[in-house]
């Protein structure tokens, strides 16, 4: 059994999409964070429902050794983009890209596939390979 695939099935059965899974430490506690998205946004009730469905699975198939806390949440308006599907799901949004050579690129994400993205900047369209990206996130202008 591949745990991520099982979690993805549970999330999708609740009308959401699996955005990311990560293990991190915050204030001395280990957190197993499952991030989800939904076409009309994610609410607290949906996070609770999915958490209650995932929890028994993790009891049987622990994702990590030792004590941890399960957290199911939305990535929010401004979120990090790490995987090709993160970029693909963010097409049409404003992004900030930091390249490996230190350049900062800002604009609208107009295309993303398995190897590269295209950003429409004030200076024109830019195609950037994933291997050139040091960091990326969406941003929201208030």
Distance separating alpha carbons of residues 137 and 82, to the nearest angstrom: 8
Give the fold, CATH level 3, of 3-73.
GMP Synthetase; Chain A, domain 3 (3.30.300)
CB atoms within 10 A of CB 27: 5
Distance separating alpha carbons of residues 133 and 108, to the nearest angstrom: 16
Every domain of the chain and the residues it spans: 3-73, 84-138
In the chain, the N- to C-terminal Cα span, in Å, equals: 44
Q: Tokens in use for 86?
A: 């993160």
CATH number of 84-138: 2.30.30.100
Give, for all 142 residues of the chain, the pLDDT tens digit: 599 999 999 999 999 999 899 999 988 999 999 999 887 788 899 999 999 999 999 999 999 999 999 999 988 778 889 999 889 988 888 999 999 999 999 999 999 999 999 999 999 999 999 999 999 999 877 6
| Residue-by-residue DSSP string for 3-37 | HHHHHHHHHHHTT-EEEEEEEEEETTEEEEEEEEE
């Amino acid at each position: 059994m591949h745990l991520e695939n099982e979690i993805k099935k549970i999330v999708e059965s609740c009308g959401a999409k699996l955005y990311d899974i990560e293990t991190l430490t915050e204030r001395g506690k280990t957190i197993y964070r499952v991030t989800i998205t939904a076409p009309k946004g994610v609410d607290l009730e949906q996070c609770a429902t999915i958490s209650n469905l995932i929890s028994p699975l993790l009891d049987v198939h622990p994702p990590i050794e030792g004590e941890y806390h399960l957290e199911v949440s939305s990535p929010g308006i401004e979120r990090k983009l790490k995987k090709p599907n993160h970029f693909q799901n963010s097409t049409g949004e404003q992004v900030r890209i930091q390249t490996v050579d230190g350049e900062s690129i800002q604009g609208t994400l107009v295309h993303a596939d398995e190897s590269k993205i295209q950003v429409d900047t004030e200076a024109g369209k830019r195609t950037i390979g994933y291997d050139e990206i040091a960091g990326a996130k969406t941003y929201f202008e208030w």
